[in-house]
Amino acid sequence: MRHWFQFPIIEGKASRQAHCDLPDGTYERECGKEGFFGPASHMYHKHPPTGWINWEGPLRPRAIDTTRLEQPGVTPWDASLLLYNDNLKLRVWNSLQNMDHLVRNGDGDEVLFVHQGSGHLYCDYGHLTFRDGDYIVIPRATSWRIEVDNPVSLLLIEASNSGYQMAERGLVGQHAIFDPAILEYARIDELFLAQQSSDQHWHVLLKARNHMNTITYPYNPLDAQGWKGDLTVFKLNWRDIRPLMSHRYHLPPSAHSTFVANGFVICTFVPRPIESDPNALKVPFYHNNDDYDEVLFYHRGNFFSRDNIEAGMITHHPCGFSHGPHPKALATSQQNPKKETDEVAVMIDARFPLEIAELPNGVENKDYVYSWRHEKC
């Protein structure tokens, strides 16, 4: 057994309760280990921790506008790779048409987050309808395809060489955040059985060990007549998530964990009341997440801690630097705080550093690193 050293200390002017009752004229910054789960200290600074005026070097916060990506091809494996490491691959794929083939990921479980559109997913386990805001969890080596009712934009999150599990609920119990009974799974229904009647040749595009393989069948291999067990394709919509809240304390992102995989977690930020205690912070606190890279995909709403961020954008904050609310958002939260948020965003916290793929010109906002500039520092 091993444990972190723990000896709470207070030096100089400091609050005895994190994220509340800040000493006058100070800015709080949390320095934490293990992504908000480990030991932490809270600094109280005279100036904003993000008050830099110049930044040199490749390690910097980034903002990517996925709506500017061009996507040739008709398969999810044509999706643009954006961020990646040995545990995780992040892509975005847009589709205007039905898939006439199947795909199979041999490298890990996949989560599809439906940013836009609606349609039908057919897979080994059956048929599942989907709409915007759905997470669809697909186990490794499952064959699947989609039919499109409305143009679809998907965020693809691969758990390389691992699978997705539920986050630990702890004291709040197994029915908090979302009841597992709300999950919907693929069914062998009339639509699934009807699509088996095709006698054409079907191709399965298998991605495995980062190579492509094409497997051809003289029939539709989605021909299951039944199945039993507890491994399947299922979906969860953000509208069915009931977030943990505290009216007196701003909860860390880890409180909103939705899925856990080896080396990363997926969190979901959904609309909620904003803290009503007059001395509690109303926006995410400045912090150093010194063990995790943070990625946010912005789905919809007004992103209350960010300026000039629109739906369909991704931000990447690598570990090792201070970040937090943008200046205008912080000022608004102090002077004219809202009663509730209306944002929906997918957050990925990666335990090991993420690499950024080569991006076409115009997709990344190169000036994002300076979006925290203050008029006075």
Residue 45, marked binder: no
Distances (CA, A) of 250 to 40, 80, 149, 271, 314: 16, 35, 40, 14, 23
Residue 250 among the catalytic residues: yes
DSSP structural state of residue 230: S
Instruction: Report the C-alpha gap between 80 and 70 in whole angstroms.
Output: 8
Residue type, 108: G
Listed residue (348, 352, 346) closest to 87, CA to CA: 352
State the residue for tokens 């209350």.
304
* Distance, CA of 375 to CA of 327 (rounded, Å): 9
Give Rg (Cα) of the chain.
Answer: 22
Catalytic residue, candidates 19, 127, 250, 316: 250
Q: Which two tokens stand for residue 98?
A: 């039905």
Q: Does the annotation flag 287 for ligand binding?
A: yes
Q: What DSSP designation does 86 have?
A: S
Residue in this structure with the two tokens 């000896």, named with its chain if needed:
7
Please indicate if the annotation marks 86 as binding a ligand: no
For 45, 55, 205, 328, the CA distances from 281, given in Å and listed in that order, are 15, 28, 49, 15
164 Rama class: left (phi>0) / alpha (psi -120 to 50) / beta = beta
Query: Would you please indicate which residues are annotated as catalytic (active-site) residues?
Result: 250
Binding-site residue ranges for Fe cation: 287, 293, 323
- Annotated binding-site members: 287, 293, 323
